[in-house]
A and B are shown apart, each in its own frame.
Chain A
Amino acid sequence: MLKPYHLAAGALLSVLVSHPLAAAEEKLLNVFNWSDYIASDTLDRFTAETGIKVNYDVYDSNEMVEAKLMAGKSGYDVVFPSAFPFFARQIQARIYQPLDKQKLTNYGNLEEGVINSLNATDEKILDFAVPYMIAGTGVGFNRGKVNALAPGAPTNSWDLIFDPKWSDPLKSCGISVLDDSGEVFAAALVWLGKNPRSEDPEDFKAASAAIQRIRPNLRYIHSSSYINDLANGDLCVAHGYGGDLVQARDRAGEAKNGVDISVYLPVEGAQVVIDVMGIPADAPHPDNAHIFIDFMMRADVVGPITDAVGYANAIRGTDAFVSEQRRNDPVIYPSPETRAKFFTVPPKPQAYIRQLTREWTRIKTDH
């Protein structure tokens, strides 16, 4: 039986709660993005042009987005996960809706190289995602110390880390690699001249041997400590994410502490992380989300973002909107030759991941 206080409670609840679904497309958009991943005026410009107000939240890991979207009813309209393995895996869980390309008038602005690279790894991904930013994994090094300890070292190649000839003398001033088995094994594979996507047991063994050979030279295996240590001059060579390495270099420059950090994407090939924009299947404002994604494919919008955050974008014709200094930066604006060597790695089968994790744990603990 329905009692009066049930109604009262119901009325109270409906007052307490806003109804995002009631008006199908109110002028609102909920965006969930990595922190520090847009320019300071991007959202204001979007709101000024379209009248759509943006709720902007940030996250720190792909796992957080995955957890929110998998639980359902996250309330977000646009999210920015990394394409591989996250977005590709999430498509299989049916948590994204296909993009309506008719509504994306700026789709032609996308760079073909990036499109091809995404397509080559997973042909379904472009039905659901638009590429946003690209970050290569590279190497940062302390120019003064490397020149002193290993004169003539090839500072454009994975040799600096994997070739004992250069790696051994640099041991004393510190080398680090990322605590990411996929990244390190892929780097070892390209250094060996093999396909970084290879799951062949022989290649796996060779890569593992290459890493174990230089294991004693590694001061630590960590995914963020190197930013500070490079900038402070406590570390000589670091395998790291492009954006982080650029940050270490810039901070060292600002601190005027005599530390000169250079960053490069190795000539043999660099693994890239492509972050993409997608619309969750249960997004409350899918039309606004399309408008936003379309906005984010304009050169005059994305250029300033690249300028602000220091990541390469996937849009053509952004040069005019990027400062000279950024354009001349081979990490943010890689040369066509480097771009041609970019590679992505598709999600691996469970059995391979198990083997990889076991080997990685052994390498990490054994020294």
Chain B
Amino acid sequence: MKTRLRPPGFVTSAMIFAYAFLYGPIISLVFYSFNESKLVTVWGGFSVKWYSELFKNEGLLNAALQSLKIAGLSATLAVIVGTLASVALTRFGAFSGRNLMQGILTAPLVMPEVLLGLSMLLLFVSMEQVINWPQTRGWLTISIAHVTFSIAYVVVVVQSRLKSVDRSLEEAALDLGARPWKVFFVITLPLIAPALLAGWLLAFTLSLDDLVIASFTSGPGATTLPMLVFSSVRLGVNPQINALATILILLVFAGIVVAGRVIRANKD
């Protein structure tokens, strides 16, 4: 007799619960973006007025653009620096200080955000006193702070990919007379490209999401979207934010689909 390991329907119900757990809140957020009432959780009839109001709300749109700019810049910088660091850690043998470097690079993974934000703020303030820069804090200082913690995530992703890449490919290219730089750009980089993309997306998301560090390091004229959303809680979250979130979810979803395609195409 065959014994069933699982009760019937277990997988299906587990899946339904898991998806409901993960996506229930998002669905309700999208749902209430079509709410007529100004109070997010009181249903007042169907309406798309918050979408049209959203496009008239300069502050909210500016904050969204600001966030995208900072996220794009910091993700790109973090991928460049993080990739160089990962190559150094995986390809350059046991140079002195390697363990220290590994530890320092990944420290922000476990560091509380408040600590990181405050230390960056104090750094910028004392830098201003010593080298007279940065005179104002703003999107640039937020980006720098974001690069600092994003590098850790990029290094984790890229390093593991580098370790799994077949080194004989690089050695063969070297054997055939390619210079190390050329090997890096022509052989290594294409091989780890999916990890770079994954690292970039991770860094981008983390930057877009960050509230604490941005609050500490921002200055006049640099309000990011999370800061604006959080500060509007005092008067109740406005459905315009639901509308904006719905649009962002659509964008992110599209981005993930594209990235997934690219990564899969790369594997084949």
- Which residues does A use to contact B, with CB under 8 Å? 13-14, 16-21, 30, 32, 34-36, 55-60, 64, 67, 71-76, 224, 227-228, 231-232, 243-244, 247, 250-252, 254-257, 284
Q: Is the CB–CB distance between A35 and B140 below 8 Å?
A: no
For the complex, is B160 an interface residue (Cβ under 8 Å from A)? no
Interface pair A17/B220, CB less than 8 Å apart: no
Chain A min CB distance to B153 (Å) = 26
When distances are taken between beta carbons in the complex, the residues of chain A under 8 Å from B135 are 17-21
Q: Smallest CB-CB separation from B238: which chain A residue?
A: A36
Query: Does B176 belong to the interface (CB within 8 Å)?
Result: no
Quick check: is B90 within 8 A (CB to CB) of the other chain? no
Chain B 208-226 per-residue mask, 1 if CB under 8 angstroms from chain A, else 0: 0000000110111111000
| Nearest A-chain residue to B122, judged by Cβ | A71
Interface segment among B22-30, B39-47, B74-82, B256-264: the answer is B39-47
Chain B residues near A244 (CB-CB < 8 A): 235-236
Contact call B232/A30, Cβ cutoff below 8 A: no
> Contact: A75 with B219, CB < 8 Å?
yes
How far is it, in angstroms, between the C-alpha of A231 and the C-alpha of B40 when the chains are bound?
11
Contact partners of A231 in chain B: CB under 8 A: 39, 42
Given A21-B135, A35-B234, A55-B220, A73:B125 Cβ within 8 A: yes
Determine whether the beta carbon of A71 is less than 8 Å from that of B232.
no
B38 at the interface (CB under 8 A from A): yes
- Contact status A30-B221, CB under 8 Å: yes
Check B220 against A57 for contact (C-beta < 8 Å). yes
Contact B37 A16 (CB under 8 A): no
The residue in chain A whose Cβ has the minimal distance to the Cβ of B219 is A75
| B44 and A72 form a contact (CB under 8 A) | no
State the main secondary structure of chain A at its contact with B. Answer: mixed
* A135 vs chain B, min Cβ distance (A): 11
A-side contacts of B233, CB under 8 Å:
60, 224
Residues from chain B with Cβ under 8 Å of A251 in the complex: 37-39, 42, 236
A227 near B236: Cβ-Cβ < 8 Å:
yes
The answer to whether A17 and B136 touch across the interface, beta carbons within 8 angstroms, is yes
Which A residues are CB-close (under 8 A) to B40? Answer: 228
Given contact pairs A30-B220, A35-B228, A256 touches B44 in the complex (Cβ within 8 A): yes
Nearest Cβ on chain A to B27's Cβ, whole angstroms: 19
Q: Is the CB of B42 within 8 A of A18?
A: no
Q: How far is the CB of B186 from chain A (nearest CB, A)?
A: 30
Shortest distance between the CB of A13 and any CB in chain B (Å): 5
B134 within 8 A of A: yes
Interface contact A75-B136, CB-CB below 8 Å: yes
CB-based nearest A residue for B221: A55
Residues of B within 8 A of A224 (CB): 233-234
The answer to whether the Cβ of B231 comes within 8 Å of any Cβ in the partner chain is: yes
A/B pair count, beta carbons within 8 Å = 106
B137 engages A75 (CB within 8 Å): yes
Q: Which 4 A-B pairs give the minimum distances between C-beta atoms?
A: A30-B220, A55-B221, A60-B231, A251-B39
How many of B's residues come within 8 Å of A, CB to CB? 38
**A residues within 8 A CB of B223?**
57-58
Q: Judge whether B134 and A35 touch: CB under 8 Å.
A: no
Interchain CA distance A25-B222 in the complex, whole Å: 20
The answer to whether B42 touches A232, judged by C-beta atoms less than 8 angstroms apart, is yes
* Chain A contacts for B228, CB-based, 8 A: 35, 58
Cα distance, A101 to B228, chains bound together (Å): 33
Which of chain A's residues has its CB closest to B138's CB?
A75
Residues from chain A with a CB closer than 8 A to the CB of B236 are: 227-228, 244, 247, 251
Residues of chain A lying within 8 A (CB to CB) of residue B73: none
With a CB–CB cut-off of 8 A, which chain B residues contact A71? Answer: 121-122, 125
Contacts of B103 in A (CB 8 A): none
Pairwise interchain contact A232-B235, C-beta atoms closer than 8 A: no
Q: In the complex, what distance in Å separates the CA atom of A73 from the CA atom of B218?
A: 11
**Distance, CA A20 to CA B137, complexed state (A):** 11
Residue of A whose beta carbon sits closest to that of B36: A254
CB distance from B242 to the nearest CB of A (A): 15
Q: How far is A328 from B221 in the complex, measured between Cα atoms in Å? A: 37
**A56 shortest CB reach to chain B, Å:** 7
Cβ of B190 < 8 Å from any Cβ of A? no
- Hey, which chain A residues are within 8 Å of B216, CB to CB? 67
* Cα–Cα, bound, A201→B136 (Å): 48
Q: Determine whether B230 belongs to the interface, using a CB cutoff of 8 Å to chain A.
A: yes
Closest to A13 in B: B133
**Nearest B-chain residue to A224, judged by Cβ:** B233
Cα separation A255 to B45 with both chains bound (whole Å): 8
Contacts of A59 in B (CB 8 A): 231
A179 to chain B minimum Cβ distance, whole angstroms, is 14
| Least Cβ–Cβ distance between A346 and chain B, in angstroms | 24
Does B180 lie at the interface of the complex (its beta carbon under 8 Å from any beta carbon of A)? no
CA distance A34 to B231 in the complex (A): 8
- What's the Cα separation between A255 and B133 when bound, in Å? 52
Contact A74 B219, beta carbon cutoff 8 Å? yes
A232 / chain B contacts, CB cutoff of 8 Å? 41-42
Other-chain contact of A36, B133, B215, B219, B235 (Cβ < 8 Å) = B235
**A118: min CB distance to chain B, Å:** 23
Inter-chain CA distance A18–B41, complex, in Å, is 43
The answer to whether A58 and B231 touch (CB under 8 A), given A231-B39, A254-B38, is yes
Closest to A36 in B: B235
Query: Please, which residues of chain B bring their CB within 8 A of the CB of A56?
Result: 59
Contacts of B171 in A (CB 8 A): none
